[in-house]
Amino acid sequence: MSEVPEQAPQAGDAVGEVDDAAPLSRRSRREQQDRPARSVPRRSLRARPLTVLATVAFAALVALTGYASPHFVTVAVALAGFVMAWGWPVLLGLPSPRGTTAVLVIGTVLSAASVTVARQDPFLKWVPAAMAVSVIVAFLHQLMRRDGRPRLAESVSSSVAGLAVVAAGVSMTPLPRVLHGDHALAAAMAALGVSALCDPLIGIRWSRRWALFIAMLFGGGAAVGVSLLAGAPSLWPAVLLGLLVAAVGHAARRVVAVLPAAGMPRAQLAAAAASSLLVGAVVYPLARYFVA
């Protein structure tokens, strides 16, 4: 009688399952805990001085224009929108960069104009219409592309995301028209600028995990300082405003820091503009419902 040849164990057999279920040693568990920290791209841990300086400059510009005129705030926000439109395709590595820039420029102009023509509260009533037209323009841009439309979904989603960031920034422009809105805007911009100065902490090993909380702490302190100097907003709204603005701005810059093109000058400016405009999503509701 011939012997039956023994088959080699296949993947998924009991032998493999037993090996996978073997308990890990303490050293293996420590290595697995440290692995996520080493998997972060090195470029995301580098300081971006141009992003920091641009964010601080934008915060100072908006804070100063807030005490001058709401129209000047609109100009400052539109300038940030144009900068973001210029560098957004480079930051995300998008196909058809000129068309994407044109879409974001049109969205910035329409959004800024919609706030300017609103003379009475609600000041943002025409912004949804401006965004709707801008989204239509974004789809028309895709229809007019002649490069075969590679990465179509990524291009559309990136354009719409950029328009959403612009809309968030435009929401800050009518704040000087409401009671204590100029002081609230100054407190928010102080938190934004101070949080940007904390960005180099991500390059230091011991402070990397706590960079967000440190930025929130100093951002809240900066907002409280403006509140004490200006007499408005009151203490707890200022603390809440500073904490959330610092958190949103810092998180936005950390998210885009992992992108391959994040170190390029245009990409750094786009990251600064995007993080500065995005904080409007928390500045406007907090200023309207807790300050004004």
Q: Does a cis peptide bond (omega within 30 degrees of 0) precede residue 122? A: yes
Tell me which DSSP letter residue 10 carries: P
Domain boundary assignment for the chain: 47-291
Sign (positive or negative) of CA dihedral 214, 219, 222, 228: negative
Cα 275 to Cα 169: distance, rounded to the nearest angstrom: 9
Peptide bond into 150 cis (omega under 30): no
Examine the pLDDT at 8 and tell me if it is beyond 80: no
Is 218's pLDDT higher than 60? Answer: yes
- CA within 13 Å, CB half, 98: 4
The answer to whether 111 and 124 have CB atoms below 8 angstroms apart is no
Please tell me the predicted confidence (pLDDT) of residue 277: 95
pLDDT confidence of residue 118: 82
- Percentage of the chain with pLDDT > 70? 85
- Higher model confidence: residue 25 or residue 112? 112
Average pLDDT over all residues of the chain: 85
Instruction: For residue 188, give every residue at least 6 positions away whose Cβ sits within 8 Å of its Cβ, in sequence order, or none.
Output: 172, 223, 241, 242, 245, 279, 283, 287
Query: pLDDT category, 27, cuts 50, 70, 90?
Result: low
C-alpha atoms less than 13 angstroms from C-alpha of 102 in its C-beta half-sphere? 13
**pLDDT exceeds cutoff 80 at 9:** no
- Listed range (38-42, 181-185, 204-208, 276-280) with the worst mean pLDDT: 38-42
CA–CA distance, 140 with 73 (Å, rounded to integer): 30
Counting Cβ atoms within 10 Å, is residue 80 exposed (0-12), middle (13-18) or buried (19+)? buried
Separation of CA 270 from chain center: 10
**3-class SS of residue 110:** helix
In this predicted structure, what is the pLDDT of residue 18? 40
Omega cis (within 30) before 174: no
Higher pLDDT, 105 or 124: 105
Alpha-carbon span 39 to 116, nearest angstrom: 46
CB atoms within 10 A of CB 186: 26
What are 111-170's pLDDT values in tens digits?
999 998 887 878 889 999 999 999 999 999 999 988 888 888 999 999 999 999 999 999
As given in the structure block, the two tokens for residue 210 are 């706590």
Spatial separation of the C-alpha atoms in residues 32 and 16, rounded to whole Å: 21
